[in-house]
Structure 1
Amino acid sequence: MDTVSDQKGSATKVQKLDERLPFHRKLTYGFTDMSGNLLYCIISGYMLYFFTNVFGMSIGTAGVLLLIGRIFDAVGAPVMGILVDHTHSKYGKSRPWFLWMSLPFAIFVWLLFTTPSLTGTAKIMYGAIIYILADLSYTAVSTPITSVLPNLTLNSDDRQVANSIRLVLGNVGNFFAVTFILPFANFLGGSNHQKGWSLAVGVYAIVAFVFLVIAFFDMREKNIENDKIITIKESFRAARGNWPWILIVLANLIYWTAYMTRSSTLAYYFQYNMHNENYISLFNGFSIIQVLGMASVPLFVKFLRKWGTTVFMLVLTCLGQAIMGFSGNNLTGLLIGWCIACIGSGSACTMFFAMVGDTVDFGEWKNGIRANGFLTAIGASFCIQVGSGFGSFIPAEVLKAFGFQSGATSQSTNAMNGISFSFLWLPIIIYIFSVLLMIVYRKWEMHEPVVIADLEKRHTV
């Protein structure tokens, strides 16, 4: 009997050891977000600028194209969540998508920043089609990043560490994307901006592809044999009456609209209003400071709860924007305001990703269905896609109304006023709506202990 007990004890110890996630897999898990941001942040930060000042598209056409493309691609978010939930392969459910989509993702993003010898409608159609394909391929890479983590390990501490590493490396990818791509393109292309952008993004695409493949080969998905298959109908049922999920989706969508309004007009502001393109890379480089805000989020949550922390960070973002607005041409004031705004926006983004997971619990509690892939895909990828579309379209229409001229070496005073309003003040107006929704969300967060307690009782039956 003692021998049997010893064997069982040894087996339990081995099982616990097997559940731990080695550091190298935590690191390679972070490679996924780093690779995605390395390319996608070029799109989010420079797409409107590239279409008008390099590709040769009018500001109005570019804005409409970006909006239509994002809305079209937004459909891919819930579809991708459902596809992940229904994937079965020898590699797992989420992991194989990194292998299948890494090369298409890299190729489509490179083609997006490559200007073909086309004119008129043909050129616009090329930009529209490749833009949609690049976004769809990003969705196919980004959705499994969130869904794969629970299957990498059962150990909650390891999951938390892995997710922290993911956020840090994701910011590293963002840093290299928004900081160095413009000077790198100028270095490679010289006066030929179209050639420079194609070569620079091509190099970035190769690096992103390599890191995604490394992540795929190092990952191992576990505990997927007994996963219950959620039907499409059940996925939609999980959202029925899920008011906290609805609030988070709306607030996150508005957040990304404001965030992209600022990001898409940054290059214009420093090129035309500040008359110094070097400031584009300087300010984008300083955005890495948002990591400090992300690291402090757990401390704020202890005192302000999740809804309060999100409201505080959004208000902090607005404060930073206002400081920039009142700084005029004072570089120091602009940098201080920018850093404050980045800390606030980066931290708020982290909170939305965390809270959408809580709404999955509410969906299971209310409807008896736990649709992780579908609800998180809508709450994350869908919001990013649609919000980014509106965040490019709205300022493009504002600039058009103020008389902005695409590709011009200088702009009229009226156009520069439109750029200043879009970059500094318009994001504040949009962020306020997200703040109001999060205040309403407070009621549902207070209800979470009841939800968790009831679910624990159900799971023990």
Structure 2
Amino acid sequence: MGDYKTTWREKIGYGVGAIGLDLSYGLFYSYLSYYLSSVLGLKEAFLLILTPLARIWDGINDPIMGTIVDSTKTKMGKYRPWILIGTASNAIVLFLLFTSFGMSGTRLYVYIGFMYVLWGMTNTMADIPYWSMVPSFTNDPKDRNLVATVARTFSGFGQGVITVMTPIVLPYLSSGMEKTEDGYSASGFSRWALICGILLVTFAVICVSSTKERHVVYNTEKFSFKKMFKVIGTNDQLVVFMLFAMISNAGWYLTSGTAVYYFTDVLGQSTAQSLFSIIGAIGSVLGLLVIPVLSKKFTNRTIYQISLIMAIAGYALMYLFGPVLNITIALDISYILASIGIGSMFVAQTVFLADIVDYGEYKNGKRYESITFSMKGFLQKMAYTIQTIFLFGGLGIMNYNEQILGGTINEATKTAIGIICFGIPPVLMIISLIIFSTKFKLYGDLKQKVHDYIADKRTKESAEKTAENQ
């Protein structure tokens, strides 16, 4: 079997699916914290406890889901059925999570806790099969880069819709006396979540109908935690990837999750977040577009290092022009540089995972695509946990809820929000860059050996199937 290449119809159809996933993903990771703390008034301590507990369950649930996907065998393939099931389920839960039905007190805390965990489970049902499909499209490294770039481009667009449109749309969707000073309300979030859920399912249908799983390796082994830990533990590059990606992603999540607090509570200009997000979206698109160009001259390893260095430089400027000098327009412009780095960073991570799947098969003789790709979703959730600890830990220490109820945010809290949003992220990215540069070995001769092994193995498998059919 040769290095077949995907058509543009497949690339775009596949990418469209990422828009819907990131509408749900973006609303959850960028606005849920604000919705729960500032709109519903839940205590920071509750969220500090809930998030780590949910991650413990994700550590069990995500690999199980990966194994289930790996073992699925239908006429549609093993990935596409789960994309439909997962997105439909996640759309329903997204709406319910952002709809409180007038509850308060203990009932509200229990309800939110249950829906919070359920969102993670249903997101896993859709996210794992979606990103696991990348290796099934093509063996060609450059085509994989292009598929991943297209998907990440659409993914960035989905998140851009959330970050740009939410501050604009929410005041129009909100109603009643429960509006905050910025025009947000529980009803507005509920209606916006419903719209995002409908789009999530629509884009998933387009994705599934536009793609084909060309080469699928089915795994009939039953799930066991022993096997799961073996798959993870014996793939040293997967462990390294999880560490450096989790740390760098946590840096970006801190900004995306704290920006609403910065523009609303620190600057007092909630609508200014839309311009900030638009500029960031432009930077992300530029970062995605340069990947195919850079891949002609540089290895994925070098591209990733360049991406992180650009992000670190951008964040340093953002901290200078934001919390230190308070020059908002300069802060916005600096975000372009950081976003270019972040956008290309995410593409490179997706490509790394496809290579890590091949490396696992090269090293152990068996292929576990979905278990490996389930680690992507898990590390993202762990990155979000780091964000939650920094954000709600800081807000809790500053007694943020009491200040919101009192109608005034003091200067110490504003300073803390600025540091969390723009000061901590570059530190995390520097740590990630050091780990990546010293510990990730899947490049050069080793990567070529893995590619040759997989190509030869697929050719033999294709020849054997042809002989059996004759």
Q: Normalised by the size of structure 2, how large is the TM-score?
A: 0.86
Residue in structure 2 matching 1:318, options 281, 306, 312:
312
Identity %: 23
Q: Does 1:357 align with 2:354?
A: yes
Please name the residue that 2:333 is paired with.
336
Please name the residue that 1:262 is paired with.
255
5 Å matches for 1:95-244? Answer: 95-151=80-136, 161-190=146-175, 192=179, 193-224=185-216, 227-232=218-223, 234=227, 236-244=229-237
* Preserved CA contact (<8 Å) 1:256 1:391: no
Q: Deviation at 1:231? A: 5.0
Aligned AA (1:310): Y
Aligned AA (1:280): Q
Quick one: structure 1 residues 315 and 412, their matched pair in 2 at CA, closer, same or farther if it must change by over 3 Å?
A: same
Please name the residue that 1:429 is paired with.
427
Q: Deviation at 1:330? A: 0.7
Matched positions, count: 443
Q: Deviation at 1:239? A: 3.1
**Secondary structure, aligned partner of 1:90:** coil
Aligned AA (2:290): S
CA offsets per residue over residues 347-394 of structure 1, 9 Å max, x none?
11221221122222322232222212211221x111111111221222
Please name the residue that 1:93 is paired with.
78
* Preserved CA contact (<8 Å) 1:307 1:445: yes
Q: Normalised by the size of structure 1, how large is the TM-score?
A: 0.88
Quick one: structure 1 residues 365 and 222, their matched pair in 2 at CA, closer, same or farther if it must change by over 3 Å?
A: closer
Quick one: structure 1 residues 395 and 309, their matched pair in 2 at CA, closer, same or farther if it must change by over 3 Å?
A: same
**Secondary structure, aligned partner of 1:75:** helix
CA offsets per residue over residues 208-230 of structure 1, 9 Å max, x none?
22222333344444444x74535
**Secondary structure, aligned partner of 2:401:** coil
Q: Deviation at 1:121? A: 2.1
* Preserved CA contact (<8 Å) 1:55 1:194: yes
**Secondary structure, aligned partner of 1:275:** coil
| Structure 2 unmatched ranges of 5 or more | 180-184, 461-470
Quote the Cα distance in structure 2 between the aligned partners of 1:246 and 1:442.
Answer: 10
Q: Deviation at 1:206? A: 1.4
* Preserved CA contact (<8 Å) 1:252 1:352: yes
Aligned AA (1:421): I
Q: Does 1:66 align with 2:51?
A: yes
Please name the residue that 2:466 is paired with.
none
* Preserved CA contact (<8 Å) 2:62 2:124: yes
**Secondary structure, aligned partner of 1:388:** helix
**Secondary structure, aligned partner of 2:78:** coil
Quick one: structure 1 residues 338 and 74, their matched pair in 2 at CA, closer, same or farther if it must change by over 3 Å?
A: farther
| Structure 1 unmatched ranges of 5 or more | 1-14
Aligned AA (1:45): S
Choose 286-295 or 63-72, whichever is displaced more.
63-72
5 Å matches for 1:302-317? Answer: 303-317=297-311
Quote the Cα distance in structure 2 between the aligned partners of 1:83 and 1:32.
Answer: 21
